[in-house]
Amino acid sequence: MASNPAPNIEISQLIDERKLSSLQITVIILSALVVWLDGYHIQSMALIVPTLSAQWSIKSADFSLVLTSALLGIAIGGAFLAPLGDRFGRRILLISSTAFLGLASIGTSFAGNPMQLLIWRFLTGLALGASLTNATALTTEYLPSKRRAALVTLMFSGISIGAFTAGFVAPIIIDKFGWEGMFTIGGAIPLLLSLVLAASIPESIKLLLASRPNDPRAPKILVRLAPGIDPRTVYAKKQEIHKQSVTELLNATYRRGTLLLWMVFIFNMFVLYLLVNWLPTLLTTQGWTASQAPKGAVMIQAGGLAGGLILSWCVYKGKTVMSMLAAYIITAAALGLFSILPSSGPSWWVLLLLVGCGISGSQFVLNALSAIYYPPLIRATGIGWAAGIGRIGAVLSPMIGGWIIKMQVAPSAVLGMLVIPVAICAAGVLMFRRVFQTSSENP
């Protein structure tokens, strides 16, 4: 008796119904390493400012444009380069941008003046914007829907780990190899990683089935993803996408969610990157020693790691809105307490940890939301533009921070001012429930 043909199965259903395969675990790990690079490279520049200021006889506040250049590069890379992954594939964009990141970082180590440093940091930002976005999109498309937001949030904890790593190795590397060593080592790692990616990372199976179902790579990936499956029985649900561009993010279906995401991204990134770029200088102004200030700044990243773990668990339990709202309230309270509690002793260390937990941890959730909100055909575009628009806040923060420092505003007052953008983020989160719907059908 002839056996009946296997029923057709939609790719999202296939992924949701099976345990994580070795292929999916490989994608998660390699993408997490790409995310790690973002934290390392952004924190590295902030950490070498005091050293460069002394060597080049330039005031720390005058490095505002250099600090801004990488963030501007990330914004442009995320908005204009990363969406190419929707058209040509995540894999090629991820490999090439990671390799370019390594070259740009090594180039930074040869900078001999602020203008050269600015150019190389801008190029570094372009690579980070493209690589981070496509790593996020690729991981999202290999995860089951029930764990997707939580695991992507957890993956983004790699940013804090990268920054945390930079903060602790910086004194050793700078002492032995000078500030250039931070970028030489920071360039060698992504170059090696790009080779590993070329050997191991697959194309997004959801993107292939949705845009190029006859691509010869699809059956091979499906066999690795679900051993024993007949690749001919797997298909992708048709998506109502008219054009793979930013205009699709603003159509009637996605407009409210897109604009809301962009608003919260801008203000959250403003706070986060002002702290990342200027906290070592603020703490030094407050009287902390040259060895204490970098470690104090790292507390933001340690808090971000803790916040990422806590919030990823809350997201997994379906408490996304309430957990983010609580995180912003705690952050606002901690920022206000800087003006009350003494900077000496353990109090400021605890406050820095709490601020990092709230503001950095919430950024990880926002990244995850931008990834799960859009379907595969415009996912890289959606993630890239959310991050790119958000970088408006990140780009403005070093310049505004530098201006405030020149005005000699007390560090405790600077930190207290950040309560305002944090409150705006909290208000935005309250609107999330009306816009975002969590269901197993979410692509």
User: How many other β-carbons are positioned within 10 Å of the β-carbon of residue 171?
Assistant: 14
Per-residue H/E/C for 258-306: HHHHHHHHHHHHHHHHHHHHHHHHHHHHCCCCCCHHHHHHHHHHHHHHH
> Given the structure tokens 């790719």, which residue do they identify?
11
Residue 66 tokens, joined: 């250099």
pLDDT of residue 439: 35
Task: Mention every residue, 6+ apart, whose C-beta is less than 8 A from residue 142.
Answer: 15, 23, 24, 27, 28, 204, 205, 225
Closest CA to 112 of 103, 104, 120: 120
Task: Mention every residue, 6+ apart, whose C-beta is less than 8 A from residue 23.
Answer: 142, 202, 221, 224, 225
In the chain, the domains with their CATH numbers are: 11-435 (1.20.1250.20)
Q: What is the pTM of this model?
A: 0.83
pLDDT of residue 5: 54
- In our burial notation (b when 16+ CB lie closer than 10 A, e otherwise), range 85-120 reads bbeebbbebbbbbbbbbbbbbbbbbebeebeebbbb
Residues linked to residue 158 through DSSP beta bridges, in sequence order: none
pLDDT of residue 153: 85
Alpha-carbon gap, residue 127 to 288, rounded angstroms: 34
Task: Label the pairing between strands 9-10 and 234-235.
Answer: parallel
Contact 388, 125 (CB under 8 A): no
Alpha-carbon gap, residue 39 to 105, rounded angstroms: 14
Alpha-carbon gap, residue 426 to 268, rounded angstroms: 10
Alpha-carbon gap, residue 114 to 45, rounded angstroms: 12
Residue 79 tokens, joined: 């908005």
pLDDT of residue 440: 35
Q: What is the pLDDT along the chain (443 residues), one digit of tens a residue?
A: 455 555 689 999 999 999 999 999 999 999 999 999 998 998 898 889 888 988 999 887 788 888 889 888 998 998 899 999 998 999 999 999 999 999 999 999 999 999 999 999 999 999 999 999 999 999 999 999 888 888 898 888 888 789 888 988 988 999 999 999 999 999 999 999 999 999 999 999 999 999 898 999 999 999 999 998 999 999 998 766 656 678 888 888 889 999 999 999 999 999 998 998 788 888 888 888 877 887 787 788 789 889 988 998 998 888 989 999 999 999 999 999 998 998 877 899 999 999 999 999 999 999 989 998 888 888 989 999 998 898 889 888 878 888 887 888 888 999 999 999 999 999 999 988 777 654 333 43
